[in-house]
Structure 1
């Protein structure tokens, strides 16, 4: 068994795997509930990974889930994060090399507490849409991406 740190007392809660830096190797994205960040471990292609790079998801955000897709149609993978503590969905836009720069936050509403997130093109417009399970409201929310 191989073990990789996501940070001291980080509370890893959810993982997603994709090739984030276009090197044909799987990389790991981890939602760290207790430290309010995500950790990215870039893979070397031999079941080993670089030390985790972290990106803040905001104070008391408590990220519960992540999904990976190209949200802005630039052929570079981006990350969507469900933050249960702040009832937000945070998008981190990829740079194509395993790092992330611009971000965009969507406020869902008071006490929505999103716990799960998925992505697909629901309305067949060529843009990936985000489906969010909101524990606090007993609803599924849909964020249609238009551009």
Structure 2
């Protein structure tokens, strides 16, 4: 029997809180709350990784209001240790984990929404992260994703920039630094970007949801770090932070999208050529903002977890 954990950042102004939901055989087994003081405000996003290489999952949370991230290490099967704080630029709203300098340690990348840059925090060892290195992107980066876009074996980065209606691609050098952004114009208010090979050519593509235009846009990767616009699919209103998985068992990657101002979550299936059609809508959410996918009950089918902003539930 396997357990999974899903970190949830609670957006409270006076005292930061992170909730850990444990999934055991398909059942969400309650919440362990972690309060970490008034020096961290407006927690926004979370990511997981083994930062200190002890084979236990650790957590990093971005704090938009206090301009920092907090890292929680887990030792053994016990609770998370006290948080360690590391400074960022203005309002980090997204985080991901990757080995950006190829030293076999997990580093942290954050999207700093109000300063229009990406912050890279390299881990020199034992989760003692160095001061961030910043790399400029367009206005208001809201989500960040990673992949090897130019097939050189190094992590590259992409952000969806809601303030400039664009996507920024930054190619990695493999030493923790990145090339100047390549900017691509896109529809109004892109809020989410996910990376996958949608047309099965062994090159990574992008799927970008645009909130004001209510669409998901697919860009096909060319293998050299550039992308070509391929398809646009209309969605329900206010699509937010999406995820990809094969929901109908056809070995094609589908997209699940929460609709922030509604009670709905939609699944769009890949029609076989990196274009998407509406498969089904799921109701009962409450201002759904972020989705996560996984096999939570071990039946070899992909399940969906939804974070509901207005009700503070999962």
TM-score, normalized by length of structure 2? 0.44
Partner of 2:112: 83
Partner of 2:33: 3
Distance in 2 between residues matched to 1:78 and 1:38, nearest whole Å: 12
Partner of 2:249: none
Distance in 1 between residues matched to 2:106 and 2:165, nearest whole Å: 30
Distance in 1 between residues matched to 2:167 and 2:136, nearest whole Å: 14
CA contact (8 A) 2:46 2:60 kept: yes
Distance in 1 between residues matched to 2:60 and 2:151, nearest whole Å: 27
For CA contacts below 8 A with separation 6 or more, give which structure has more relative contact order. Answer: 1
Name structure 2 gaps, 5 residues minimum: 1-30, 175-314
Match of 1:136, SS state, is: coil
CA contact (8 A) 2:86 2:131 kept: no
Partner of 1:40: 71
Task: State the Cα deviation string for residues 59-79 of structure 1 (Å, max 9, x = none).
Answer: xx0000001100011111111
Match of 2:34, SS state, is: coil
Q: Does the alignment pair 1:31 with 2:62? A: yes
- Radius of gyration: which is bigger? 2
Name structure 1 gaps, 5 residues minimum: none
> Where do 1:1-147 residues align within 5 Å?
1-8=31-38, 10-46=41-77, 48-58=79-89, 61-109=90-138, 112-147=139-174
Query: Aligned Cα RMSD in Å?
Result: 1.3
Instruction: Count residues in correspondence.
Output: 143
Deviating 4+ runs (over 3 angstroms): none
> Following TM superposition, by how much is the alpha carbon of 1:44 offset from its aligned partner in structure 2, in angstroms?
1.8
Partner of 2:244: none
CA contact (8 A) 2:45 2:93 kept: yes
> Following TM superposition, by how much is the alpha carbon of 1:129 offset from its aligned partner in structure 2, in angstroms?
0.3
Task: State the Cα deviation string for residues 72-107 of structure 1 (Å, max 9, x = none).
Answer: 111111110100010010100012311112531112
